[in-house]
């Protein structure tokens, strides 16, 4: 399937009736009768009117497909409880699985991408064989149907499409390699880059090994609401591409000049810094040299629930790790990548140490000693006067931070 159907676009929002009708009409003509379908959906860290969409899919396919399984693409995020899943999906009537990435028997091995091909895809940045492991639920169904939003993304350019497989329901091998490739390119260079970035090419290469038919309902969400600008249906590449074109016009805010400080107000859907770091990724490009990003999230009490090792490694720029690669190469590259993504641009040398372009400060419930040990700045959130920051011409205060990319008009995309 190469054709793509699109409803909506930039500058408008869709009604629930329009969305439901589109989902049901497109799935009715997709040739899914009698097949088993694995529906891959995001976890609660993504804005999306998931109850509406899953109900529309269920209504369209009930009685027509042999089996319908909902698989939550946790990546390496925390497991969702039964109560959380019911709230997330809007019903307890579905056959739902968490992506249990912490269990080895979760995965099927689809094969290996060899070092030569990795070198080609990465533009010579990496030369490693990588095993491609995927949640076996995807492999055991005839059809893999991705359902989720597309936003500017710090690792791949724009999220969505085959990214719901890798890293969404993938093994650590591709997750680590793809995230480290993004870190080598740097978040500020790759985020919001249209088209096939090197990381997107790697993900697509891995997805080509999936035996199931791969389809997607890719949606573009109006940030801060549960409204949709657009829905695209087709294969996982064409559907994603159509949605990314809309996202590029709705999820990017351009500034003429850099700002000295950004205060990112992080919503409750981000429960630790591992996920709330998006409040930095989405603004780093507009912060002046020597400036500061404050992540204001009084509800967050831990750095990374699923990856406590980040507290020991701390947050550092890319060159800090590359300059001491023998010390760090055996750690999870995905953790190292996350570290660089939150610390942003900088340099390191063995004589003068690390020099970072932007300061990163946490105003959270995480204890000060933990924050400073992780190489981040600390502010007591109770001492923050948001009104004063809002009245400061050198400060940009962003509600519902983490989704809208802020970029200077002279930005050049990644090679």
Task: Decide if 278 contacts 300 (C-beta within 8 A).
Answer: no
> What band does 81 get if pLDDT is binned at 50, 70 and 90?
confident
The 8-class DSSP code of residue 170 comes to B
What angle do helix axes 50-61 and 16-28 make, rounded to 10 degrees?
30
Percent pLDDT > 70 in the chain is: 98
258 versus 92: the higher-pLDDT residue is 258
Task: Decide if 130 contacts 174 (C-beta within 8 A).
Answer: yes
Task: Decide if 219 contacts 231 (C-beta within 8 A).
Answer: yes
Q: What is the pTM of this model?
A: 0.92
> What band does 90 get if pLDDT is binned at 50, 70 and 90?
confident
Total Cβ atoms within 10 A of residue 108? 17
Task: Decide if 146 contacts 203 (C-beta within 8 A).
Answer: no
The predicted pLDDT at position 415 comes to 44
- Domains of the chain plus CATH, in order, are 5-250 (3.40.50.11440), 254-408 (3.90.226.30)
Q: What is the mean pLDDT of residues 303-321?
A: 94
Percent pLDDT > 90 in the chain is: 85
The predicted pLDDT at position 58 comes to 94
- In tens, the pLDDT along 248-296 reads 999 999 999 999 999 999 999 999 999 999 999 999 999 999 999 999 9
- In tens, the pLDDT along 346-366 reads 999 999 999 999 999 999 999
Gap between the Cα atoms of 231 and 259, Å rounded: 34
Gap between the Cα atoms of 170 and 166, Å rounded: 5
- HSE-CB at 232 with a 13 A cutoff on CA atoms is 26
Residue 236 has pLDDT above 90, yes or no: yes
Computed over its alpha carbons, how large is the radius of gyration of the chain?
A: 21
Q: Is the peptide bond prior to 167 cis by the omega test (within 30 degrees of 0)?
A: yes
Residue 413 has pLDDT above 60, yes or no: no
Gap between the Cα atoms of 347 and 314, Å rounded: 16
Residue 1 has pLDDT above 60, yes or no: no
């Amino acid at each position: 399937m190469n054709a793509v159907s699109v409803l909506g676009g930039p500058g408008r929002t869709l009604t629930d009736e329009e969305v439901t009708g589109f989902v049901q009409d497109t799935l009715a003509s997709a040739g899914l009768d009698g097949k088993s379908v694995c529906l891959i959906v995001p976890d609660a860290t993504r804005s999306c009117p998931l109850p509406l969409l899953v109900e529309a899919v269920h209504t369209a396919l009930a009685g027509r497909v042999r089996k319908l399984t909902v698989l939550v693409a946790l990546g390496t995020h925390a497991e969702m409880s039964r109560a959380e899943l019911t709230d997330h999906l809007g019903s307890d009537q579905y056959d739902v699985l968490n992506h249990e990435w912490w269990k080895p028997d979760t995965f099927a091995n689809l094969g290996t991408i060899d070092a030569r091909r990795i070198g080609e895809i990465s533009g010579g940045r990496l030369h490693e064989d990588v095993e491609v492991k995927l949640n076996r639920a995807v492999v055991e169904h005839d059809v893999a149907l991705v359902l989720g939003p597309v936003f500017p993304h710090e690792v791949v350019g724009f999220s969505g499409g085959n990214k719901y497989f890798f890293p969404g329901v993938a093994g650590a091998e591709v997750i680590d390699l793809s995230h480290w490739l993004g870190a080598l390119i740097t978040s500020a260079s790759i985020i919001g880059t249209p088209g096939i970035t090197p990381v997107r090419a790697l993900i697509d290469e891995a997805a080509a090994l999936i035996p199931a038919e791969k389809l997607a309902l890719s949606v573009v969400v109006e940030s801060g609401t549960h409204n949709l600008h657009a829905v695209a249906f087709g294969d996982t590449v064409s559907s994603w591409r159509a949605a990314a074109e809309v996202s590029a016009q709705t999820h990017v805010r351009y500034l003429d000049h850099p700002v000295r400080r950004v205060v990112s107000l992080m919503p409750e859907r981000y429960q630790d810094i591992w996920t709330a770091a998006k409040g930095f990724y989405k603004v780093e490009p507009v912060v002046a040299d020597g400036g500061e990003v404050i992540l204001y999230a009084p509800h967050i009490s831990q750095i990374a629930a699923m990856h406590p090792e980040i507290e020991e490694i701390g947050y550092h720029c890319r060159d800090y790790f590359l300059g001491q690669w023998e010390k760090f190469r055996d750690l999870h590259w995905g953790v190292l990548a996350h570290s660089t993504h939150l610390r942003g641009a900088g340099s390191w040398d063995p004589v003068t140490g690390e020099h970072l372009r932007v300061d990163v400060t946490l105003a959270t419930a995480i204890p000060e000693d933990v924050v400073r040990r992780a190489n981040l700045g600390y502010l007591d959130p109770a001492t923050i006067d948001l009104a004063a920051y809002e009245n400061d011409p050198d400060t940009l205060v962003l509600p519902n931070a983490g989704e809208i990319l802020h970029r200077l008009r002279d930005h050049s995309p990644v090679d």
